[in-house]
Amino acid sequence: MSDTSTAAYTAEAARLDAADELAKHREKFALDDTVYLDGNSLGALPAHVPARMADVITRQWGELRIRSWDESGWWTAPERIGDRIAPLVGAADGQIVVGDSTSVNVFKAVVAATRLAGGDRDEILVDATTFPTDGYIAASAARMTGHRIVPLDPAEMPGAVTGRTALALVNHVDYRTGRLQDLPGVTAALHAAGALAVWDLCHSAGALPVGLDAHGVDLAVGCTYKYLNGGPGAPAYLYVAERHQARFDSPLPGWNSHADPFGMTPDYRAAEGAPRGRVGTPDILSMLSLEAALDVWDGVRIEDVRAKSLALTDFFLECVRAYAPEGRVTSVTPEAHAERGSQVALRCAEAPAVMAELIRRGVVGDLRRPDVLRFGFTPLYVGFADAERAARVLGEVLRDIPAG
């Protein structure tokens, strides 16, 4: 790569950054000069969160103590924060409850969906490329409920749904390749056959429009520590469409989801609405850290985030083609915008060594063994200069590390 070509790409990056309406949001995050392209694993820290949490710990917990369940709004946090997330995934208020891990919420959603489906429907379609835990949970749920698992590529699901299908569990974006699955099409095909759609939004919420209500999704789950920047281990969330809430039968009924939680009665009677998705006492510190982090979304349109995400990933792929030695990396992320999430995955035979060296040189992505370099683009704080620098450093590393 000549100095002239490099100058052209750096100049183009500067032009794109100057025209970027979302660039002003970068200052809301605690960042250094590292190019951070792993926000699809752990989002960056919003700069105001430490001060907010200092108040939660010193005043709400330290001074008010038990009174904070009422006076600081701890008790209503799971649904209040759910309503903050709702616009980012295209849901009306009152359908999302925050709490527990993604795995726990997948279990709730899958078992509850089998109960909603009922009848002779005894098969669960599962995304064959799913994040492993989703597959583990679905298999366990199937053993418990007498269902059988049918692993399929999501593209094959519309043609595979039968009268025996209870539900399909699908990742909206493939965690390894960044492929965006057809949520509207798969959901419609399931509904046409009387089955339910359960979507995992971990790699799409906060990166692109989801449209849960518009597309009639039945249940959905997602984490909050990736594009939503909630912090390591931040609580996940469960979406139950309003039309299903009265019949939503959680496999994990707890005192927190009881209609009269402080009655402490031996019999269980489910609460109305989204609180049915609760189980036990919420993790308040992580919950309120997430609530503070969501402030960075104030005034941000998810459609604008999606537009920048596509522009960033397009530009990064263009720069990789220009900077990387021929034949050393191959993109496994779809080129078509309709099929792409907000990450780029590159296959590279020397991926472990390459990623380690990239990180040492200040470009942080991640590795999916054995041979995938994964770069996540979080449009609120990643710019076009970051994309150009990452591709340029990747080219340098590939030239320094021998092939094969």
Beta strands across the sheet bearing 343-347: 330-331, 343-347, 372-376, 366-368
CA atoms of 217 and 119, how far apart (whole Å): 20
pLDDT at position 404: 75
Average pLDDT, integer, range 104-122:
96
pLDDT digits (tens, 9 = 90+) for 11-35: 999 999 999 999 999 999 999 999 9
* 396, HSE (Cβ side, Cα atoms, 13 Å): 15
Chain centroid to Cα 153, Å, comes to 20
CA distances from 125 to 48, 86, 122, 172 (A): 42, 26, 10, 14
Q: Domain count for the chain, please give it.
A: 2
* 148-158 confidence digits (pLDDT tens): 999 999 999 99
Task: Evaluate whether 373 touches 354 at the Cβ level (below 8 Å).
Answer: yes
Q: Is 48 annotated as a binding residue?
A: no
Which amino acid makes up residue 306?
Answer: R
Residues 141 and 24 in one domain: no
Question: What's the chain's average pLDDT?
Answer: 97
In a domain, 39, yes or no: no
Question: What CATH number has the domain bearing residue 232?
Answer: 3.40.640.10
Q: pLDDT tens digits for 265-321?
A: 999 999 999 999 999 999 999 999 999 999 999 999 999 999 999 999 999 999 999
Q: Are residues 75 and 19 both part of a single domain?
A: no
Average pLDDT for 359-383:
98
CA distance 296 to 310: 20
The reply, when asked if residue 297 is annotated as ligand binding, is no
118 vs 189, higher pLDDT: 189
Residues 309 and 173 in one domain: no
Domain boundary among 282, 297, 312: 297
Tell me the backbone φ, ψ of residue 264, rounded to 5 degrees.
55, 40
pLDDT tens digits along 338-365? 999 999 999 999 999 999 999 999 999 9
User: 325 with 235, same domain?
Assistant: no
Residue 73 predicted with pLDDT over 90: yes
pLDDT-derived band at 2 (thresholds 50, 70, 90) equals low
Q: What is the sign, positive or negative, of the torsion defined by CA atoms of 21, 22, 25, 27?
A: negative
Residues 229 and 326 placed together within one structural domain of the fold: no
Which one of 226, 328, 389, 392 is the catalytic residue?
226
Residue 144 belongs to some domain of the structure: yes
**pTM for this one?**
0.97
Q: Is residue 45 a part of any domain in this protein?
A: no
- The answer to whether residue 29 is catalytic is no
Q: Are residues 12 and 131 in the same domain?
A: no
Total residue count of the chain as it appears in this document: 404
Which helix (H) or strand (E) element contains residue 343? strand 343-347
Is position 225 annotated in a ligand binding site?
yes
pLDDT of residue 58: 98
Same domain, 121 and 22: no
Percent of all residues in the chain with a pLDDT value above 90, rounded to a whole number: 98
Could you write out the DSSP letters of every residue in 247-287?
G---SS--GGGBSSTTT--SS--BPSSGGGG--S---HHHH
Say yes or no: 85 and 25 in one domain.
Answer: no
Q: List the domain range (segments joined by +) for residue 259.
A: 51-297
Q: Give yes or no: residues 317 and 217 share one domain.
A: no
- Same domain? For 319 and 191 the reply is no
Could you tell me the CATH number of the domain that includes residue 9? 3.90.1150.10
pLDDT at 119 over 90: no
Which is the catalytic residue, given 100, 127, 200, 218? 200
134 belongs to an annotated ligand binding site:
yes
Same structural domain, 72 and 191: yes
- Establish if 46 belongs to a structural domain: no
Is 36 part of any domain? no
Q: Is 200 a catalytic residue?
A: yes
In a domain, 42, yes or no: no
Judging by beta carbons within 10 Å of its beta carbon (0-12, 13-18, 19+), is residue 138 exposed, middle or buried? buried
Catalytic residue among 9, 36, 107, 131: 131
Annotated binding-site residue? 9: no
Q: Is 377 one of the annotated active-site residues of the chain? A: no
Is residue 35 a part of any domain in this protein? no
Same domain, 109 and 83: yes
